[in-house]
Amino acid sequence: MLDTSVKYTDSQQLGSPSLQAGPGALIAWLDMHLITGWGLTATTSITISNEVGTAIFSGGHPATGDAVIGFVNVPGAWIALGNERRVFGVSTNSFTFDASGLPNGTINGVSVKVPGMGWEKPFYAANTAVYRSATSGGSRHYLRVDDSNDAYALVKAYASMTGVDSGASGYPGDSVDARWMKSIDTTPSQFSWIAGDNKSFLYGVQSYDYLWMFGFGEYVAEDPGEPNNSFIAINDGAPAQGNGHQDWYTREDYGGVYLLNNAGQPALCGRGWMLSNNLPSGSVSSNAINPSGGKIFASQQYIIDF
């Protein structure tokens, strides 16, 4: 069966939650993508033929090509269908998916949804939430999101936390105004996407003629025993630009990638990362993700030893 650990969704999918401006909006959006999933839709039927499944719907559905789809209310006789499968192709009222290991046949009464990425929210309060990988192993650092503002949230990572406002070994340092963008005004953002797994994720949101990326989670360390192999990519408060708006992105001088160094202190490991390309057709810039191929084209970033 094809791997389903890495997931990608974007705002062009039917029923996709929109990344709105306003207090609490980013938390609601992250909850659906990281934890609960979204887009529950009943199938008319599912047929399996030669290890390719076809899900049929009376109307539209939330799947997109190469994405991962979840199955709900699977009857016991078809338990091998499992909870998640990789999508092959889509049409308006159907999609095909990897049905490796399943016999030919027809399944009724099943619904589908876009699954969460395998994270948990151990602490939360009004417009504030803490996220962490729900999978054991690795550094499992914490991400605190203060979502009290309209256009952006204040974020910080911690090596350990005991409550929504109690953490140790935080990064970036207290002097950094670390922000994640929602929208540059009080209207819904334009194109947005998120990609990741149960250990790390990236998300992007379009700001006028740019699409910029933020992220949090574990990276593959050169030393397998590295206890702090976790990063956070932020914007640290860009000044107003000549066209009258702010570029809330991880750009040179205005943001970067932070982690804990070998001494357990917050450190900036690089700026100007994650500029990508290939916006969807009809958009006003070429800086974004390629939704049809599901690939992120990013500038190279080196994480040095400290």
User: Do 104 and 150 fall within a single domain?
Assistant: no
Q: Which amino acid, 185?
A: D
Length of the chain: 306
Which CATH number do you get for residue 98? 2.40.30.180
Find the Cα–Cα–Cα–Cα dihedral 14, 17, 22, 26, rounded to 10°: -140
The range of the structural domain enclosing residue 197 comes to: 22-35+117-270
Element (H, E) at 26: helix 25-30
User: Do 133 and 260 fall within a single domain?
Assistant: yes
In a domain, 175, yes or no: yes
User: Do 85 and 166 fall within a single domain?
Assistant: no
CA distance linking residue 199 with residue 85, whole number of Å: 19
- Give the tens place of pLDDT for each residue, 180-239: 988 765 555 578 899 999 999 999 887 665 667 899 999 887 777 778 889 999 987 654
- Give the tens place of pLDDT for each residue, 143-157: 999 999 988 899 999
CA distance linking residue 30 with residue 146, whole number of Å: 13
Report if pTM > 0.95.
no
User: Do 134 and 224 fall within a single domain?
Assistant: yes
Beta bridge partners, 160, equal 168
CB 53 within 8 A of CB 45: no
User: Do 49 and 96 fall within a single domain?
Assistant: yes
CA distance linking residue 283 with residue 281, whole number of Å: 6
User: Do 195 and 240 fall within a single domain?
Assistant: yes
User: Do 137 and 180 fall within a single domain?
Assistant: yes
Q: Which amino acid, 292?
A: S
Report residue 25: phi and psi, to 5°: -70, -40
User: Do 101 and 169 fall within a single domain?
Assistant: no
Task: Please say if the pLDDT value at position 241 is more than 70.
Answer: no
